[in-house]
Amino acid sequence: MTEKRGFTVALAGNPNSGKTSMFNALTGARQHVGNYPGVTVEKKWGQVRHGQQTIEVVDLPGTYSLTAYSLEEVVARNFIIQQRPDVIIDVVDAANLERNLYLAVQFMELGAPLVIALNMIDVAEARGLQIDVAKLSQLLGVPVVPTVARGGKGMKELLDAAAQVAAERKEWKPLELSYGHDVDQALAKLVENFSGQSLAWGPLSPRWVGVKLLEGDEEVIRQVGGDPGLADKLEPLRQKLADHIAKTADDDPAGVISDGRYGYIGGVYRQAVRETRARRLELSDKIDKVLTNRLIGPLFLLAVLYGVYEFVFWASEAPVAWLEGLIGWLGGAAEATLPDGFVRSLVVSGVIDGVGGVLGFVPLIMFMFLAIAFMEDTGYLARVAFLVDRVLRGFGLHGNSVMAMIVSGGISGGCAVPGVMATRTLKDPKARLATILTVPMMNCGAKLPVYALLISAFFAAHQAQMMFALTLVSWSIALLAARLLRWTVLRGEAAPFVMELPPYRLPTWRGLAIHTWERTWQYIKKAGTVILGISIVMWAMMSFPGLPEEQAAQWEQKVAAAASDEAKATVEQDMAQAQLAHSLAGRIGQGLDGLMSPLGFDWRTNVALVGGFAAKEVVVATLGTAYSMGEVDPEETEGLAQRLAREPGWGPLKAMALMIFVMIYAPCFVTVAVIKKEAGSWKWALFSVAYTTALAYVLALAVYRGGMALGLG
Amino acid sequence: MNAVESLRRLKVGDVAVIVKVAAGGELGRHIRDMGLAPGVEVMVMGRAPLNDPVELKVKGYCLALRNNEADHIMVRLEGRP
């Protein structure tokens, strides 16, 4: 009867084993992304039709092992123990069999029903590895199916094997390995005191629990601790046995147990695999000889970053212009069809301008993510982490932090939302927090219009140099801020770096598309929801309360009395400005005057900066309104730039102070929400707003006052 | 028979066999999870610009670790190019 019911498959495997390709090949586009309950580990699931059955496939996080070492491993293990999937498919890299089997053996020790997908079998054969699949399957006692997930080969056979295991195996059968005399004896003693008792966690073999206790697995020790009688009995025994093993073997029990697993794997490997060719340098190693070379490596890295920059701006130019045209046309259409009044003002100034300003960046951001996905999928990003680790460690970060920094705008035009999410690859909680708290200082796509406006107004002769300088400034400040955080609120030892450098591979279009789209979609969601709400709120704050009756009437008369169209436009602009000064936003801006005037900012700039708390895209639009330009399109800053250049009190120095302030102060609302999610508490989210704003104030003050002292004002 | 020394002392191109992983806790577990166990052959592929981290070839794949992590891994030199 199981034929009709379908079953659940958990997809496990090492990182870089082709697990993601396998998941995509199995589920196609029918996949869902979410999080495992209560943790920031991504969960993907999807369905696949197989004959009469619908199979539910859950993608477990990629792990090397099944200890309580990392969040991903705990999540994967808990899913298997608590959800009891009908089958686990372990995706194993055939060319790297010994290390990959380490995870498979741990599933076997647990006793869960397992099928091994011997993936990338073509690569293994090309390297001269002859794997006797039948022999391997017989030795391990587990079905083994050769596959090439990228080409979709072997999928049917794999599902056949999984269906058979799901139909036949109802019992978990733990593999009992020998870990050497000392450990085996200790296990026997532990199990004596434990047999017949099960944990609240689910029925598990006493021997497995014993192994985990000797390994010092914190999670299992806590589970056992939930039963006080049991814990009191087992804990002293565990300590005694562990100490005894440590003394006799001159090694900690976890080490001895791990060696036992590798011993078993080595035996299986020697019988099932023939290496027909001597050790030689693979193509990937030859590429590495060049790309991680001491001299060429860093130069090539800079060239790649520059290339990405060029590519993104070149590729996105046309679609950005096209989108802006569309948004402009929408604004015009709304302008033409809606009657004059608040509704029209809301739709045009609030909704279309606000959201349109953000959506206009989508192509830029999408190509940025495409470039980063390309670097990730080829395996180059791991080399970047390798190259820069020593430098980043000096600032209390980790080689892997570089990824988040680049996504957030280390190459101008990223976005901190996916950037903060990209810190999930960091295992070290403190380095991760330090990265999360500093990446919003990078020059994301939303800050670019602000820079573009001020540079074209005050540094028109050196546009490219100024952009490059701002990039360097943001990197320096972010790194120094990270160092400061790691010396103060985030003190602690650095976590291990030990990291695989996967072989170079040509990415698949499908993989790139999925990767790019996931991140772009996060950005679009931000534009469609948060920014929309904020735009409306900002619009309301700038529109209400309106001018008192008699003042409004006076303005109307002036407009009516204007001699020419030109004079009329001028009067209308003056009226808009008076109206803004009277509004809630205007009053807040004026109220901040005392605080902000030392930076050289006037009340109009303050209004723009208040709006910028929500999203930095708002700054330019608000400046436009505040300087009574009427509708200012963030792209057509020409008029506003000229206006600012003429404005008394504005100059290159003030522009510089403002750019620094915008670069550093508060992450936008969406980023703050993501920080809350990723850091796990509002405490860090609020801290990120407070400390960056304070830092921005100090730095902008230093720039402005320092410049004044040097006579640059 | 060569003397046992720490992995940090190896030069680029050296081939050595791991004798002991002298690290406990999280680091020890992580090193072992990545396949660095006694009896395993490693080859030093290269070093990052500032000599740190170091890239190794282990069981046919590439692994990077920092020098202060390599300190915990004792090896016996097998061959020098």
State percent of chain A over pLDDT 90.
38
Q: CB neighbours of A444 closer than 8 A, spacing ≥ 6?
A: A408, A409, A413, A414, A415, A416, A419, A616
Q: Distance between CA atoms of A35 and A207, rounded to whole angstroms?
A: 32
Helix (H) or strand (E) holding A559: helix A549-561
Q: Cβ of A67 and B33 within 8 Å?
A: yes
Q: Cβ of B64 and A297 within 8 Å?
A: no
Q: Which of A88-97, A182-191, A307-316 has the highest mean pLDDT?
A: A88-97
Buried b (16+ CB within 10 A) or exposed e, A382-400: bbbbbbbbbbbbebbbbbb
Mean pLDDT score of chain A, rounded to an integer?
86
* Eight-state DSSP code of residue A556: H
- pLDDT tens digits along A203-255: 788 889 899 989 988 888 888 887 777 888 888 888 888 888 888 878 888 99
pLDDT at A268: 96
Q: Cβ of B61 and A251 within 8 Å?
A: no
**A234, burial (CB in 10 Å: exposed 0-12, middle 13-18, buried 19+):** buried
Mean per-residue pLDDT for A660-682? Answer: 89
Chain A contact probe: residue of B62, B68, B71, B73 with most A CBs at under 10 A: B62
> What phi and psi, each to the nearest 5 degrees, are found at residue A554?
-60, -45
Closest CA to A448 of A253, A601, A252, A316: A316
pLDDT at A134 over 90: yes
Separation of CA A147 from chain center: 30
Q: Give the count of Cβ contacts less than 8 A between chain A and B.
A: 130
Q: Distance between CA atoms of A651 and A640, rounded to whole angstroms?
A: 14
pLDDT at A230: 80
Residue A154 contacts B where some CB pair is shorter than 8 Å:
no
Dihedral angle computed from the Cα positions of residues A566, A569, A574 and A579, in that order, rounded to the nearest 10 degrees: 170
Between A86 and A241, the higher pLDDT residue: A86
Q: How far is B38 from chain A (nearest CA, A)?
A: 7
Q: Distance between CA atoms of A650 and A654, rounded to whole angstroms?
A: 6
pLDDT at A639 over 70: no
Residues of chain B with confidence (pLDDT) below 70? 1
Amino acid at residue number A568? K
Q: Which of A130-144, A176-190, A548-562 has the lowest mean pLDDT?
A: A548-562
Prediction pTM value = 0.83
Q: Distance between CA atoms of A521 and A658, rounded to whole angstroms?
A: 31
- pLDDT tens digits along A583-613: 888 888 889 988 998 998 988 899 889 888 8
**Chain A residues near residue B40 by CB distance under 8 angstroms:** 262
* Class (C level, CATH) for A181-275: mainly alpha
Q: Cβ of B48 and A297 within 8 Å?
A: yes
Q: Which of A4-13, A619-628, B7-16 has the highest mean pLDDT?
A: B7-16
Q: How far is A432 from chain B (nearest CA, A)?
A: 17
Chain B contact probe: residue of A390, A427, A504 with most B CBs at under 10 A: A390
CB atoms within 10 A of CB A572: 16
Q: Distance between CA atoms of A439 and A401, rounded to whole angstroms?
A: 9
Closest CA to B64 of A23, A311, A384, A216: A384
Rg (CA), chain A: 31
Mean per-residue pLDDT for A327-353? Answer: 80
CATH of the domain at B12: 2.30.30.90
Q: Which two tokens stand for residue B27?
A: 């680091």
pLDDT at A490 over 50: yes
* Class (C level, CATH) for A7-168: alpha beta
**A182 in Cβ contact with A256 (< 8 Å):** yes
Q: How far is A182 from chain B (nearest CA, A)?
A: 18
* Residue A632 confidence class, pLDDT cut points 50, 70, 90: very low
Chain A contact probe: residue of B31, B33, B34, B54 with most A CBs at under 10 A: B33
Q: Cβ of A102 and B29 within 8 Å?
A: no
Mean per-residue pLDDT for A444-467? Answer: 86
Mean per-residue pLDDT for A508-517? Answer: 86
Q: How far is A195 from chain B (nearest CA, A)?
A: 27
Helix, strand, or coil (residue A202): strand
Mean per-residue pLDDT for A500-525? Answer: 85
Closest CA to A262 of A122, A104, A153, A373: A104
Residue B28 contacts A where some CB pair is shorter than 8 Å:
yes
pLDDT at A413: 73
* Residues forming beta bridges with residue A44, ordered by sequence position: A33, A59
Helix, strand, or coil (residue A143): coil
Residue B81 contacts A where some CB pair is shorter than 8 Å:
no
How is chain A split into domains, by residue range? 7-168, 181-275
Closest CA to A703 of A477, A440, A439, A488: A477
Q: Cβ of B26 and A294 within 8 Å?
A: no
Amino acid at residue number B14? D
Number of domains in chain B: 1
Q: B56 lies in which domain range?
A: 4-79
pLDDT at A631 over 50: no
Residue A85 contacts B where some CB pair is shorter than 8 Å:
no
- Name the residue facing A389 among B48, B60, B62 (closest C-beta): B48
- pLDDT tens digits along A332-344: 888 888 887 778 8
Greatest CA separation found in chain B?
Answer: 35
Closest CA to B43 of B21, B61, B58, B65: B58
* Residue A317 confidence class, pLDDT cut points 50, 70, 90: confident
Buried b (16+ CB within 10 A) or exposed e, A648-676: eebbbbbbbbbbbbbbbbbbbbbbbbbbb
Distances (CA, A) of B58 to A431, A584, B64: 27, 65, 10
pLDDT at A330 over 90: no
